[in-house]
């Protein structure tokens, strides 16, 4: 039999399916390696703190402005509907439920996906294409632990803190509008706001924040760490990091809300 007979090429659909499952395998291997490296010594505490500063403190101004405006605008939009039924006294409770259960974690995660996710993706991609990561491996430094694990830990730690801060700032924006229109006092506003907020709401929001932070860190690091195509790959990694992170955040939001509602 002639050994030079060409083997038939795989169909395009078959190649696409093979590539999809290969990507899934690589992603789960990447996540498993993060957990494995996170508990190995030495723990890069200083680098984790530095990354928390980059993720948290440097996002504070944007988070403050966005959270305050979100609470203020949502209150203004809700008032006319409640006024028709003479129920403007429900505004603090309505805003608190919306902000704490949904808006604070979702708005914070989307902002961080755009700002932090793109930054991490571009930074690691730049290091990959300029062979800085390869140089770290040669010099006996574990680049995965130093670059990837620290950034994933930083996003997982910092974003829940930012979510709590966004919720507080959003409620302050709502209070300002309600105080100017109904002359509600600060204490009365927060008493009414938290009347219908339960322990499950805080637990659900905390879980969302941790999951969103972990997702942003993993997606951004994965895209940056495996970047190719030279300098063109840097922009591609940054862009894909944002798009995939936002897509997964919305899916996780639906999934967690569905579970919370079934428990409630």
10 Å CB burial of residue 209 (0-12, 13-18, 19+) is: buried
SS3 6: coil
Residue 87: the pLDDT is 75
Distance CA 233, CA 240 (A): 10
158 neighbors 57 (Cβ within 8 angstroms): no
Query: For residue range 133-178, what is the model confidence (pLDDT) as tens digits?
Result: 888 877 777 888 888 999 999 999 999 999 999 999 999 999 998 8
120 neighbors 151 (Cβ within 8 angstroms): yes
Ranges of the chain whose pLDDT falls below 70: 1-16, 18-20
Among 146, 161, 76, residue whose Cα is nearest residue 112: 161
Distance CA 67, CA 166 (A): 5
DSSP string, 144-171: IIIIIIHHHHHHHHHHHHHHHHHHHHHH
Distance CA 84, CA 95 (A): 17
Among 27, 32, 38, residue whose Cα is nearest residue 154: 38
Residue 49: the pLDDT is 93
Residue 1: the pLDDT is 45
Residue 132: the pLDDT is 85
Phi, psi of 9 (to 5 degrees): -70, 150
Omega before residue 69 within 30° of 0, cis = no
Who's near 6: CB < 8 A, 6+ residues apart?
none
Query: For residue range 151-162, what is the model confidence (pLDDT) as tens digits?
Result: 999 999 999 999
Distance CA 95, CA 175 (A): 10
Distance CA 215, CA 221 (A): 10
């Amino acid at each position: 039999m002639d050994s030079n007979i060409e083997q038939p090429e795989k169909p395009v659909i078959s190649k696409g399916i093979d590539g999809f499952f290969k990507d899934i395998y690589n992603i789960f291997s990447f996540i498993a390696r993060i957990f494995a490296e996170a508990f190995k010594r030495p723990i890069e505490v200083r680098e984790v703190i530095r990354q928390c500063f980059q993720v948290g403190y440097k996002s504070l101004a944007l988070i403050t402005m966005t959270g305050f405006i979100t609470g203020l605008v949502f209150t203004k939009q809700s008032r006319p509907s409640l006024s028709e039924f003479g129920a403007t006294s429900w505004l603090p409770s309505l805003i608190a439920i919306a902000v704490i259960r949904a808006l604070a974690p979702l708005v914070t995660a989307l902002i961080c996906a755009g700002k932090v996710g793109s930054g991490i993706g571009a930074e690691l991609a730049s290091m990959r294409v300029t062979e800085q990561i390869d140089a770290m491996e040669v010099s006996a430094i574990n680049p995965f632990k130093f670059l990837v694990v620290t950034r994933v830990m930083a996003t997982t730690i910092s974003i829940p803190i930012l979510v709590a801060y966004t919720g507080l700032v959003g409620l302050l924006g709502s209070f300002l509008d309600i105080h100017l229109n109904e002359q509600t006092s600060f204490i009365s506003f927060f008493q009414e706001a938290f009347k219908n907020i339960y322990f499950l709401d805080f637990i659900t929001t905390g879980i969302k924040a941790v999951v969103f932070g972990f997702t942003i860190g993993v997606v951004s690091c994965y895209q940056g760490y495996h970047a190719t195509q030279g300098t063109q790959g840097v922009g591609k990694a940054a862009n894909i990091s944002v798009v995939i992170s936002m897509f997964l955040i919305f899916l996780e939001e639906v999934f967690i809300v569905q579970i919370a509602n079934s428990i409630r």
